[in-house]
Amino acid sequence: FSTPTDGGNPRMQMYIWTAPNPDRDGDLDNGIVIHEYGHGISIRLTGGPGTSSCLNNQEQAGEGWSDYFAVLMTMQPGDTGPQRRGVGTYALNQPVDGTGIRTHPYTTDMSIDPRTYDTIKTAAVPHGVGSTWTTMVWEMTWGLINVHGWDADLYNGNGGNNLALQLVIDGLKLQPCSPGFVDARNAILLADQNNNGGANQCTIWAAFAKRGLGYSASQGSSSNRSDGTQAFDLPASCSGPTATPTNTSVPPTPTNTSVPPTATNTPLPTNTPLPTNTPPPSGDVFFDNFESNLGWTVNPGGSDNATTGQWERGNPEDTNSSGPKQLGTTVSGSNDLVTGRLAGSSAGVYDIDSGTTSIRSPNISLPASGSITLSFSYYLAHATNSSTADFLRVQVVGSSTQTVFEELGANNDDDAVWDTFSGSLNSFAGQTVYLLISAADASGASLVEAAVDDVRITVVGGGPTPTPGPTNTPVPTNTPGPTNTPVPPTATPPPSSCTTYTSANVPIALPNGTTTISSNLSISGAGTIGDLDVSVNMAHVWVGDLSMVLRNQTTGTAVTILDRPGVPASTYGCSGDNINATLSDEAGSAVETQCASGTPTINGTFSPNNALSAFDGQSGNGNWVLEITDHYTSADAGTLNGWSVEICTP
């Protein structure tokens, strides 16, 4: 599934799975179709609609959100937490309780799926990492079902499954760009505070703690899946036993049999209830939607030099220059914090000009404990005459000064669209701080506008121990539905794995006057392809001249993975030099649009021009060929330094 930014058309391609007998059509597997659509949801929501490149880091859980949507939206009456739920079982000709295309089926039974946060340290990227995340939100979903029941109405229902899905969707909107597991967990906790007053905090904490993402878990860098530390504890506000993992049972949950049993799916036995879901006493530490004056100070240091567009609280007027540059709509209420709220006779009359404008919040006392999070909505808009000297910046000032957010301008047209930021303030715990928000037009007479709204600081699990509220009442037992026909037992398929195969047929020169070169890669022992990525390291002047085709000579399938990046957007394509890229269907940004100012000009993980899923279901064994064509041979030369394919097998 290829996902551009909001407004562009995504592309889904499904193929025939040839590993089972008979062949299976991926279009007919509900789980796979939902999974692929799920990539569009997670990529579009993370980081806001203006970007599709926020799920390229190593610890991101894009595959996990997609698997989660698949198993949640295909739930049936009679389902229970411990039963086995696989993704892709139809495509692999497995029974409905088969393992599917992952290493384990999804279940709350640790003896079947023992994965915890530490599992991702050695898991395949992205599928192994992502599917570990699914185990965690699947635990959360069943915890919420055990409290609120199950509702078959996905659109208007009030069950725990509805609640869980909404929290996951809203968490995607709240989490930062390039999130890790702790970031994603905190975003879900924040969504529960925003939506439900924190009524489900302890249920959510218990689910994550069971899988090693408890209160003391540390993420490390979201770019490194191996540097986190798992923990199984709960915050003080959810006082109770440590949620250590076990291979024999699920953690204690309130008695609930709201989903009728079936012959093959035995309901959970009655367990000891969880601690009462009393929300932490603090919740919002600070909130300002700018509908009233809470005491912000413009130019607090006395050194601002912007001649127009100073920060002010007010009702903004819409401006437009090749698209909206200042929005007349706020996130909530009538007012926001904006750089010159008036429109004037043209878009540039009241924008920021000739320097920097800043504004300081009132002092904010942060609690000494708990998980403290700053979130806000914002936009930075500019015309093509902007540069990286222009910026929107948010700093937290306490015993030290920390820049928690910064967006720079660029020499392109960037319209105003509300986006969201969320980040941790735990390093300032126990301090009295203030926020310093700055924006600048520092590149000359460029058109730059900025705004901020709904500034919020929350704490989860901080403060004194709360007074317990009434215990959650178990949902009454429903009348059992008709018995399902048992599925005949089948052999459990082998777990999936990912292996990288590197071509030894390099380096190969592509001199002037040569149109096409080919490099071979012979693979054996690979098995059936469940997912395939390709990495290319190519030195070449003006990469906009190049196209690349990956060909499986055994099956005859060929995929154009690169086709003159920048053409036709630029007549001659990207003028930058060199490529060091991994092409993956699951990546957010398209390789076609890449043309960075540095070298290599295409550097990172991107989606190919055509989907590599064309190879899914085929055997990975045999001879593979990478064909590279130079469409302008008279001027430029280059060398293919290396290439490889990563094959993940079901």
| Tens of pLDDT, residues 604-619 | 888 898 889 889 888 8
Query: Would you say residue 13 has pLDDT above 90?
Result: no
Query: Residues 458-506: pLDDT tens digits?
Result: 988 654 333 333 333 343 334 343 333 333 333 333 334 788 899 989 8
DSSP structure string for 522-547: EE-S--B-SEEEEEEEEEESSGGGEE
Mean pLDDT, rounded, of the chain: 83
Query: Residues 127-161: pLDDT tens digits?
Result: 999 999 999 999 999 999 999 999 999 999 999 99
In angstroms, the CA 649 to CA 536 distance is: 21
Burial 453-487 (b: 16+ CB within 10 A, else e): bbbbbbbbbbbeebeeeeebebbeeeeeeeeeeee
pLDDT of residue 292: 84
In angstroms, the CA 519 to CA 640 distance is: 9
% pLDDT > 70, the chain? 85
Query: Would you say residue 571 has pLDDT above 70?
Result: no
Handedness of CA 238, 282, 149, 116 (dihedral sign): negative
pLDDT of residue 337: 95
pLDDT of residue 401: 87
SS3 186: helix
- The C-alpha angle 583, 587, 593, rounded to 5 degrees, equals 75
Q: How many residues does the chain have?
A: 650
pLDDT of residue 199: 93
Q: Which residues are catalytic?
A: 36
Mean pLDDT of 30-51: 88
DSSP structure string for 558-625: EEEEEE-TTTTTSTT------EEEEE-TT-SSBGGG---SSSSSEEEEEB-SS-GGGGTTSB--EEEE
* Neighbouring C-beta atoms of residue 209, cutoff 10 Å: 28
Mean pLDDT of 329-342: 91
Handedness of CA 111, 116, 122, 123 (dihedral sign): positive
pLDDT of residue 239: 61
In angstroms, the CA 311 to CA 268 distance is: 57
The band of 72, judged by pLDDT with boundaries at 50, 70 and 90, is very high
Mean pLDDT of 554-568: 83
The band of 333, judged by pLDDT with boundaries at 50, 70 and 90, is confident
Domains and CATH numbers, the chain: 22-238 (1.10.390.10), 283-460 (2.60.120.200), 497-649 (2.60.120.260)
Between 190-199, 394-403, 470-479, the lowest mean confidence (pLDDT) is in 470-479
pLDDT of residue 650: 72
In angstroms, the CA 551 to CA 257 distance is: 52
pLDDT of residue 462: 53
Cα radius of gyration (the chain): 27
In angstroms, the CA 127 to CA 35 distance is: 12
Between 55-64, 197-206, 530-539, 604-613, the lowest mean confidence (pLDDT) is in 604-613
In angstroms, the CA 167 to CA 153 distance is: 17
- Beta pairing, strands 319-320 & 324-326: antiparallel
Handedness of CA 216, 217, 222, 228 (dihedral sign): positive
